[in-house]
Amino acid sequence: MPYALSTLLQQGADGTPREPRPSNRALFRGAAAEALAMVLFVFFGCGAASSNARKFDGGEWDPASVTIIALQFGLSITVLVYVTAHTSGGHINGAVTLGLMAVGKCHPLRAAVYLVAQLVGSIVGAAILDGATYGEAHDFTLDRTGGLGSNGRQNPAVSLGRAFAFEFMGTFLLMYTVLETAVNVHSVTTEGESSILGNKLNLAPLPIGFAVFLAHVVCIPVTGCSINPTRSFGPAVVSDTWDDHWLWWVGPCSGSIGASIVWAAMKQLDDPNDKGRLVAISKGGEMG
């Protein structure tokens, strides 16, 4: 194999080594953390949507309801990324796992195992939420969404193209934030080699949670806001809500890959001589 091609296959998008194959113990531990985190994320995130969703008579979302739900999703992901970062890397999102694999920060085997774990966790979380919100014979419900917070086009004016655009942009924001705050070794939010590998002292979960909040504020009135295909899967399975379900995979995964491509291109523009100056600006507060 030519040296250049061999080097390309061994390096990630930022020039650092790709993640090697993890041990079986590391895979099991990470998968268990991802599954549990997804159970909690779906229960508390979709639970907030189920109990707080409110629309006006004309079908428009109540801004207060949107804000509450968006804040709950953002805070939930912040807490859960902190909880799992040292164990699994804190993905809790199939689109994020895909993006990290694309830039070489997640081994394909780990990505496949995590995806399965996230899907199982999402179903379990949605099942618990279903049991907590519906009566024994489904004769009453506390679920205001009718689908356990499942995603769907929220207005007749929302075409498939518009829904895709919102999901693409929301996930692009999230994935790019993950890459710049949790993966980039020059990030001002981190110290150490890699927060994805769990050995960085970092604040990355905070901007990641903020990104989730921002995306939800914009996307909830349009699509209900997925930006996370594995979060969307469990409620769809349990509530049997499959309208446009493919869109909650294609939109977020496309946004994640798009962000990964842009980030990889930006990394090619990095000047290693700038590192010291950037650190001085962030820590010393000086602009010159």
**What are the domain boundaries of the chain?**
18-270
Q: What is the spatial distance between Cα 260 and Cα 101, in angstroms, rounded to a whole number?
A: 9
Query: Which pTM was predicted?
Result: 0.88
Q: What is the spatial distance between Cα 259 and Cα 201, in angstroms, rounded to a whole number?
A: 24
Q: SS3 for 106? A: coil
- CATH tag, 18-270: 1.20.1080.10
The secondary structure of residue 274, as a DSSP letter, is G
pLDDT in tens, the chain (288 residues): 444 334 444 566 766 778 889 999 999 999 999 999 999 999 999 999 999 999 888 788 999 999 999 999 999 999 999 999 999 999 999 999 999 999 999 999 999 999 999 999 999 999 999 999 976 655 667 888 989 999 999 999 999 999 999 999 999 999 999 999 999 877 766 665 555 555 555 789 999 999 999 999 999 999 999 999 999 999 999 999 999 999 999 999 999 999 999 999 998 887 766 654 444 444 444 333
φ, ψ at 52 (rounded to 5°): -120, -5
Q: Name the nearest CA neighbour of 86 among 161, 169, 8, 192.
A: 192
Q: 232 is written with which tokens? A: 């969307």
Helices 205-223 and 63-84: crossing angle, nearest 10°?
140
Q: What is the spatial distance between Cα 159 and Cα 179, in angstroms, rounded to a whole number?
A: 30
Helical H segments across the chain, by residue range:
3-10, 24-41, 47-52, 63-84, 94-102, 108-133, 160-178, 205-223, 229-239, 247-267, 275-284
Q: What is the spatial distance between Cα 131 and Cα 129, in angstroms, rounded to a whole number?
A: 5
Q: Name the nearest CA neighbour of 84 among 205, 173, 186.
A: 205
